Chains A and B, each alone.
Chain A
Amino acid sequence: MFDNLSDRLNNVFRDLRGHGTLSEKNIQDALKEVRMALLEADVNFKVVKEFIATVQEKAVGTEVVQSISPGQQVVKVVHDELVNLLGGESVALDFTGKGPAVILMVGLQGSGKTTTSGKLAKLLIKQGRRPYLVPADVYRPAAIKQLTVLGESLGVPVHPSTTDQNPVTIAKNAMLVAEKSGYDTLIIDTAGRLHVDEELMGELQNIRQAVNPSEILFVADAMTGQDAVTVAHKFNQDLEITGVVLSKMEGDARGGAALSIKKVTGKPIKLVGTGEDLDAIEVFHPDRVASRILGMGDILTLIEKAEEVVDKKDAEKIAQKIRKNSFTLEDFLGQIQQIRKMGSLEQIMGMIPGLNKMAKMQDMPKPDEKELGKVEAIIRSMTLKERAKHRLIDASRRKRIAAGSGTSVQDVNKVIKSYTEMLKMMQKMKGKMGGGKAIAGKKRRKRPKGLMR
């Protein structure tokens, strides 16, 4: 709905160039834009109000640095303050206390508690712990079964709860089992409930009292709107939660709820859910979410996503091939398939600051899924030999390939051309690539220059 916030701010400051300090009026105009951006990102109304007041104080009187525009400068103040509010360093899970550690999962209906329980179990196993999954949702149809299936798929023991038991009793019994069997961490999955359901909120309090959890994680949906504050506040008030998990963050929600929840509870956002699979869980990066809330693209996430999709081994192989000049059409096909796995091209482009504006430009050729599908079909219609040696593909072969893939010779030409272009580009890149790390490296990238425009 909105263009990049930076662009809009640059508009506001169009007339203010160069020296001087930002006046109160400049700031006010700019902050109006910031306010709209935050509201459209679902940050709660009151939270926005307070935030704007804070930023205003910090920004007035700031000297305008010549090298960057006033707009950029305000964005920087806003961004820094957002990062600050969202919480500095990531906070680890707490397993202290005597006896097995207990993690209690709480939240509204459908927020992702059960799935996150499974993800946590997987995470803990990797850390060498012995988790015990405890289904304590006796209300929702097949809730116990859901967690049981997840546990089985991970090879993690699941407490044999039944729907006729009381959740408090289940928790207590599970504790005894864990002590006896040497499980060191209980993950208790509770039923989704409304914060205004006093009876069920009371049930959670009773569970807490019975098993004294070292972590009470409030699981919230990243797509939540304004009501996030009301819900988070009540859960925190009744249960004194210890942290927040933000689920479904791989979508395109701006995630303003993160700020609202953090602000109203003061509790750290510990983890982020990024998919339905059990390893789709990550630590929370305040700087990324800040950029995202401001609608400034999410380049770091994009890079990570690319790294995820490009399997490390594959990447190493490709790097080798580039070095040895043996990047074939077959590899090209692989690349295209990976791009498709990452999501639609448009979506990817939307994540890149600057590009999201370009993507809207009329005369920009829109890379669409169909095109990619065509490319795939064309390469698949080539023989293995042709894929390995594109020079073999003469006019008659092109005709055959076009017929085989249901496309035209022009289409085939186009594919071969983009492949050779890519080869050329790779040649140029080759000099700058040390040992193939540029693609395979899992190291954190520096923030690309364009981001803070």
Chain B
Amino acid sequence: MLGWFKKKISPELQAEEEDVRDGDDVSVVEVAEDSAEPQDEEAEPTSILHEDVGVLFKRLTRKMAKTRGSMVAKVDELFLGKKVIDPELLDDLEEILITADLGAVTTMELVDDARAKLARNELSDPLVLRKTLQEKITEYLVGSDKPAELVMPAEGPFVIMVVGVNGVGKTTSIGKIANKFVNDGQKVLLIAADTFRAAAVEQLKIWGERINVPVISQDTGADPSAVVFDGLEYAEKRNFDVIIIDTAGRLHTKVNLMEELKKINRVIGKKIAGGPHEVMLVIDATTGQNGIAQTRAFSETVKVTGLTLTKLDGTAKGGIVVNICREFDIPIRFIGIGEQVDDLRDFDPVEFAEALFFVEK
């Protein structure tokens, strides 16, 4: 995902504005041109490029601790309290994994594996067991965390289409991700293709204002692919580096709505060669096993190339992504840890696997 930020900043950031047709019913929220300047806030680095993973994690845990009470202190309780691995510990382990939404099948596999090793006397130290499990889970996650191959195209804008079921946090994540790009000096455009939900357009517009990024939109009820078309048309002569498209939340079981997504996808491909460069599926950390069906359906409809896992600031562990990564070859790019603009972090599989074992009480 770091590749996203590697493209050098276009020298002609100041796009010329004349000569570009504005659709009659297209609304563009323009922003001051100097807004492309990185917004340097407190110690926040302007780029996530070189941010130290350890620092990130500390900030993440601090952020979580704010709402959760100290949980880090409880991490090792289960494993430290015991000298040997006994059946009770394995039961507890099963509970931890299932409660984290890893699902019965994956959990049984992991626990049975531990049981077998125990029987063969290959394992006796609880801490070694935990480490082994974390490594295994990390493996599942990394298996699909393909290294930063995703590089922004050498020419033309990098187009991201964001999809997912209702209410998972698509629009909010777009606000946050766009801000990350802005802080990195990129020129960003947002397209409001959720023309269905009440005030969805207004919601994205407010995000655009917050981070000083223009938003292309039409009225509620407009054809979403037409909005996208007009948006990309608008972008054509304006040298945007990144274009992010917000789509309406839809259950993956709704055939016609999934068809609509295909159409949007096609429109993007026609306007921008190779686009969309990223189809990002947003998954809510509170989601249970249905996350698999969601990923499958969205992947089959429009090839999903990245995941964002939201709402990790709650008590849900988001373990469903372990299953998702196991079954589908899709990397997790970001995690959402709050409702504010800077509540977004890069996904780190090692930390995530560790956090699965945090136990409260």
Contacts and interface: CB of A to CB of B under 8 A. Distances in A.
A109 B314 CA distance: 10
A5 interface: no
A195 B251 contact: no
B105 A40 contact: yes
Contact of A340 (B255, B289, B316): B255
B252 interface: yes
A223 B287 contact: yes
A250 B199 contact: no
Contacts, number: 155
A134 to B, nearest CB: 16
B98 A226 contact: yes
Contact of A142 (B67, B203, B293): B203
A110 B104 CA distance: 26
A369 interface: yes
Contact of B251 (A44, A194, A250): A250
Contact of A110 (B167, B251, B316): B167
A141 B206 contact: yes
A118 B199 CA distance: 13
Interface string B37-61: 0000000000000000000000000
B290 A276 contact: no
Nearest to A224: B286
B263 to A, nearest CB: 14
- The bracket for how many chain A residues form the interface is 35 or more
A418 interface: no
B229 to A, nearest CB: 23
A225 B202 CA distance: 31
Given A139-B339, A142-B206, A225 B254 contact: no
Given A142-B202, A142-B203, A343-B254, A276 B196 contact: yes
B203 A40 contact: no
A343 B253 contact: yes
A225 B287 contact: yes
A252 B104 CA distance: 18
Contacts of A227: 101, 286, 314-317
Contacts of B284: 110, 221, 223
Contacts of A35: 104
A253 interface: yes
A231 B67 CA distance: 14
Contact of B311 (A109, A118, A248): A109
Contact of B165 (A109, A145, A223, A347): A223
A111 interface: yes
Interface string B297-330: 0000000000000010111110010000000000
A341 B103 CA distance: 32
Contact of A224 (B197, B287, B317): B287
B287 A248 contact: no
Interface string B184-217: 0000000000001111101101110010000000
B88 to A, nearest CB: 14
Residue among A46, A276, A343, A344 with max Cβ neighbours from chain B (10 Å): A276
Please indicate which of the listed interface residues A40, A149, A251, A369 has the most CB atoms of chain B within 10 Å of its own CB: A251
A36 B286 CA distance: 20
B169 A149 contact: no
B289 A146 contact: no
B202 A230 contact: no
A344 B67 contact: no
A298 interface: no
A195 B315 contact: yes
B202 A221 contact: no
A227 B206 CA distance: 31
B207 A141 contact: yes
A42 interface: yes
User: Most chain-A CB neighbours within 10 Å: which of B284, B288, B311?
Assistant: B288
26 contacts: A36-B105, A39-B98, A45-B98, A111-B167, A118-B198, A140-B203, A142-B200, A142-B203, A146-B199, A146-B202, A146-B203, A195-B314, A221-B284, A223-B284, A223-B290, A225-B101, A225-B288, A225-B289, A225-B316, A226-B98, A226-B101, A227-B316, A230-B315, A254-B290, A341-B256, A343-B254
Interface of B: 67-69, 95, 98-101, 103-105, 165-169, 196-200, 202-203, 205-207, 210, 220, 251-256, 284, 286-294, 311, 313-317, 320, 339
The 9 A-B residue pairs whose C-beta atoms are closest, nearest first, are A225-B288, A110-B167, A42-B288, A141-B206, A227-B316, A146-B199, A39-B104, A142-B202, A149-B198
Given A146-B199, A225-B320, 14 more contacts: A1-B292, A40-B105, A111-B167, A141-B207, A142-B203, A145-B198, A194-B313, A196-B314, A225-B287, A226-B99, A227-B286, A248-B166, A251-B251, A252-B293
